[in-house]
Structure 1
Amino acid sequence: MQPLSTPDLFLPSPTLSAFALGPLTIRFYALCILAGIVVGTWLTVRRLTARGGTSEQALDIVMWAVPFGIVGGRLYHVITDNQLYFGPGKDPWGSLRIWEGGLGIWGAVALGLVGAAIGSRRTGVPFAAFVDAAAPGLLLAQALGRWGNWFNNEIYGAPTDLPWKLQIHAMDSTTGKAITSPEGAPEVIGYFHPTFLYESLWCLAAAALLIILDRKYSLGAGAVFSLYLVFYTAGRFALELMRSDPANTILGARVNTWVAGLVLVTGLALFQTLRSRARSKVETGGTLPHPAR
Structure 2
Amino acid sequence: MAPELFTLPGLGWAITPYGLAVAVALVTSWLVALILARRDKLPTEVLGTVFVLSAIFGLLVARAGYLLQQGQALELSHLRSLPAGGLAVFGGLFAALAVAAIGCRRFRVPTLAWLDCWAPAVALGGVIERVGAFFAGADFGMYVGPGDLGHVLSVTYPEGSPAFMLHTAAFPGLPGLTETSSAPVHPVQLYLAATCAVAFLVGLGLRRRRRFSGQAFLAVAAVFLLGRAVLFEPLRFDASPLALGPLRVQQVSGLGLLLVSAIAWRMLAARATARPGEARQWEGGPWTPRA
TM-score range, shorter chain: 0.7 to 0.9
Name the counterpart of 2:185: 192
1:280 — aligned with what? 281
Structure 1 unaligned residues grouped into runs of 5+: 1-13, 289-293
* 8 Å contact from structure 1 (residues 195, 242) kept in 2: no
Contact preservation (8 Å) 2:124, 2:197: yes
**TM-superposed deviation, 1:28:** 1.3
Aligned residue among 203, 220, 223 for 2:215: 223
- CA–CA separation in structure 1 for the residues paired with 2:132 and 2:256: 26
* 1:166 counterpart residue number: 155
What are structure 2's unaligned runs of at least 5 residues?
169-177, 273-278
Q: Residue 4 of structure 1 aligns with which residue?
A: none
Within 2, Cα distance between the matches of 1:72 and 1:112? 9
Q: Residue 101 of structure 2 aligns with which residue?
A: 117
Tell me: CA distance 1:50–1:170, structure 2 relative to 1, closer, same or farther (3 Å).
same
Structure 1 contact 126–281 (Cα < 8 Å) conserved: no
Q: TM-score with structure 2 length normalisation?
A: 0.78
Q: How many residues matched? A: 260
> What residue identity is the alignment partner of 1:55?
T
Instruction: Tell me, yes or no, if the aligned pair for 1:178 and 1:187 is still in contact at 8 Å.
Output: no
Flag the 1:34–1:239 CA change in 2: closer, same or farther, 3 A: same
SS at match of 2:139: coil
- How far the C-alpha of 1:38 sits from its partner, in A, is 0.9
Q: What per-residue deviation string (whole Å, max 9, x for no partner) do you get for residues 67-101 of structure 1?
A: 1211222233234x325x37xxxx97775353223
Partner of 1:20: 6
The root-mean-square deviation of aligned C-alpha atoms, in Å, is: 3.1
Conserved 8 A contact 2:41-2:288 = no
1 or 2 for the larger relative contact order (CA 8 Å, sep ≥6)? Answer: 1
| Residues 1:126 and 1:244: Cα distance change in structure 2 (over 3 Å) | closer
How far 1:137 sits from its partner (Å)?
0.4
* Separation of aligned partners in 2, 1:225 and 1:142: 15
Corresponding residue for residue 8 of structure 1: none
- Partners of 1:234 and 1:74 in 2: CA distance: 24
Query: Are the equivalent residues in 2 in contact too, given 1:60–1:123 (CA < 8 A)?
Result: no
Provide Cα deviations, 1:13-35, integer angstroms capped at 9, x if missing partner: x4x33223465421111111111
1:142 aligns with 2:135: no
Kept in 2, the 8 Å contact 1:167–1:190? The answer is yes
2:32 maps to which residue?
43
1:76 corresponds in structure 2 to 65
Q: Which has the higher strand share?
A: 1
Which of the numbers 181, 196, 209 marks the counterpart of 1:203?
A: 196
**SS where residue 119 of structure 1 aligns?**
helix
Identity percentage over the alignment?
A: 20
Partners in 2 of 1:113 and 1:97 — Cα distance? 21
Work out the CA distance in 1 between the residues paired with 2:106 and 2:96. Answer: 15
Q: Is 1:261–2:261 an aligned residue pair?
A: no
